[in-house]
Structure 1
Amino acid sequence: MKKIAIMQPYFLPYIGYFQIVAAVDIFVFYDDVNFIKGGWINRNKIIINDKPHFITVPLQNASSNKLITDTLVKKNQKQFLSLEKKIEQRYKKAPYFTSVFPLILKVLRGDYKTISELSISSIKTIAGYLCITTEFVISSERFGDTKDYYRGERLSKICHQLSARTYINAMGGQHLYDKKEFAERGIQLQFLKPEITKYDIHSGHINMSILHLLMYKSVSEVKELLGLYQLI
């Protein structure tokens, strides 16, 4: 039975995001919904001097009235060089810096216009590094005909179009989606609950960017952590 997940594209997201990516057959980047200011679409956290600090992609006139796919990146070379330098200075002594930092540079220096493109690139690049073979699909490219449906009904329509009968969501979706309603539409709804509480690497926490974890653990060690979850 085919499993899918549908989530907004986040910039260098936390490990729980990649657990969901690895748990499904098809992962849909939900980029034709409204941008959320103050969320994780264009920023994330790393640890500097044992305290969390944001790494943020600058945007042009970001607004909750715009779709993620229509939100443009402010391509200011100075701002991006500052972001690169911040990451380099923090992690240049980390054991896996020479493997991971070139991937980050590839993402930040990529040919893109929107935050959707950049954040999707960050996720696909890391998924490739971790040898995750999940198929990726972009909602703005494939499911424009479902945009008039509301929330759970739209997700169910996308599931049916992809011939999927199981939809996996993050735990935060429990207050948004009802298992019974999905079951009535022929879809099994499950929530992924990570069983990782702390990285134990310089105060690293599960809700930080996976970047912090990749700098300190090997691919095989991270892949082992990807399997630490429950589906409820």
Structure 2
Amino acid sequence: MKVGIMQPYFFPYIGYWQLIKAVDKYVVYDDVNYKKRGWINKNNILVNGEAKPVSLRTFKVSQNKRINEIEIDHDLVYKKKLLKTIKEAYSKAPYFQEAYSVVEKIINQNEPNLAAYLANSIKEICAYLNIRTEIILSSELTKNEHLRGQDKILEICGLFSAEEYLNAAGGLLLYSPLDFQTQGIELKIIKTNPISYQQKDVREFVPNLSIIDVMMFNSPEEIDAMLDDYTVLNNFSNLLQTSTSG
């Protein structure tokens, strides 16, 4: 059993979807603290050849609240403006019609809870990309709510009798491979290989944009090949040196 666990994000970059596809069960980590300066409710799209931010409006936000305690501001004027921005940016993209219908459906949903909203969006995009991984909300699991950090991750892995725990490269410094090994779990790190595709009106490819950008310029079949274009890292000492070298 392969398990992945990560916070939900607003139309995250392709590496997020690589992780989801690579595991059997993906846990949306919604019962951890919200980060105001993180990427939970924002991302970048391509506007006039440059990366520009788009965001999901929230209110009553606090880093003392969990993600599943944050509410969404469903202001209709703002939603229309957001959709207009995306439409104007990608209306000439080859897969605009197919991708925009998915994006529009996600943005127009009326779910008031941020975590549920983002979980729904993850499921919608997985359906479009034909990713069949089971999606589970962390808050729906019966577990020890006093655990934190790595201990909480290990408990969730244990609930599913995980043999492997997969995480993005950014999570390497958070976990001890030895601690996972002690629990009979192999820690694996997925690192996205350099991915590029034809974007319109750009002199040089703009990487690591929202999945929206990928969907607009590539067919689901082409994206499927990208989802498998990663390296599984297991030489953690070398990676740690790379990560800390600046």
- The letter for the 1-side match of 2:10 is F
Contact 2:50 2:206 in 1 (8 A): no
Please say if residues 51 and 206 of structure 2, whose CA atoms lie closer than 8 Å, have aligned partners that are also in contact: no
Q: Distance in 2 between matches of 1:72 and 1:58?
A: 9
Aligned to 1:215: 216
Q: Match for residue 137 of structure 2?
A: 138
Say which is worse superposed, 119-128 or 191-200, in terms of deviation.
Answer: 191-200
Report the residue type matching 1:180 in the other structure.
L
Deviation, 1:37, is: 0.9
Deviation at 1:204, TM superposition (A): 4.6
Unaligned runs of 5+ in 1: none
Structure 1 distance, partners of 2:98, 2:198, is 21
| Count of paired positions | 230
2-structure distance, mates of 1:191, 1:157: 19
Partner of 2:123: 124
Q: C-alpha deviations, 1:8-33, integer Å up to 9, x for none?
A: 00110100000000000000000000
Q: Which runs of 4+ in 1 moved over 6 A?
A: none
Aligned-pair distance for 1:160?
1.0
- CA RMSD, 1 decimal: 1.2
Task: Give the structure-2-normalised TM-score.
Answer: 0.90
* 1:125-168 deviation line (CA, Å, top 9, x unaligned): 1111010110010001114x232112111111111111211000
- C-alpha separation in 1, matches of 2:77 and 2:15: 31
Question: 2:128, 2:187 → 1: CA distance?
Answer: 29
Matches within 5 A, 1:57-206: 57-143=56-142, 145-201=143-199, 202=202, 203-206=204-207
Q: Point out where structure 2 has 5 or more consecutive residues left out of the alignment.
A: 234-246
Following superposition, the deviation at residue 214 of structure 1 comes to: 0.6
Measured in 2, the distance between the counterparts of 1:117 and 1:199 equals 32
Contact 2:198-2:217 at 8 Å conserved across structures: no
Instruction: State the identity as a percent.
Output: 35
Aligned to 1:31: 30
**1 CA distance for matches of 2:10 and 2:141?**
22
Q: Is the 8 A contact 2:74 2:110 kept in 1?
A: no
